[in-house]
Amino acid sequence: MRESITNQLFDLNYTLFPHLFHDEPWHVLNLLENQFDAFISALPNTYFEWKPGVWLEENVSVATTAFIEGPAIIGSGTEIRHGAFIRKNVVIGNNCVIGNSTEVKNALLFDGVQVPHFNYVGDSILGFKAHLGAGAILSNFRFDGKNISIRTGNTKFNSGRNKMGSLIGDHAEIGANCVILPGSVIGKNVQIYPLVSTGGFIPAHTVVKKSIFG
């Protein structure tokens, strides 16, 4: 039996919402867009509504120059730094960093994710302790506007979405100024060198030193 993409990429012990990953993970993005109440209803009572539609746990640090548009959920120990833009339908786990000039939109970040400098994270899921180097971009839209396909190995799926960023596995390291193409699947512990543009499926533990498309 084929291992699900979810199990290939993510340790579900590092999100509050493992029960919502009962299908392939891009369906979680549909829930973020259309059924955000499913996330709010599962929150423990340690969370509070900091402003309308924005739910925080204790010990979240939000810079006065950051902007958070709900609905959004942000876990304990997370830093929202100067100039960060959280733009609706976002779930951020514990001990994450959302940094200067970083935009996050319709995305779920597992615990320990760092997107600390000039990053774009749209319509994406980032696994436990995934890290984007400065200026790394998760592109989420095809030039022709068509629905975006996702491939794992020899299997190809239609996500049913015309905006779909990346599925980034646990502990993946994306180098500075990389561009990751729409619908990419980046396995656990993958390392992508700086300035690389890449897309498609990259298996776990791969080191990518030059641009590849597949």
Residues with catalytic annotation?
117
- Which residues contact residue 208 at a Cβ distance below 8 angstroms, ignoring those fewer than 6 apart? 190, 191, 192, 193, 196, 198, 202
Query: What are the φ and ψ backbone dihedral angles of 58, each rounded to 5 degrees?
Result: -60, 155
Q: Is 168:150 a contact under the CB 8 Å cutoff?
A: no
Q: Print burial letters for 83-104: b (CB count within 10 Å at least 16), e (below 16).
A: bbbbbbbbbbbbbbbbbbebbb
Q: Looking only at Cα atoms, what is the longest distance across the chain?
A: 50
CA 187 to chain centre: 13
Structure tokens at 183: 């619908």
Q: Is 38 exposed, middle or buried (0-12, 13-18, 19+ CB in 10 A)?
A: middle
Residue among 42, 39, 99, 102 nearest 72 (CA): 39
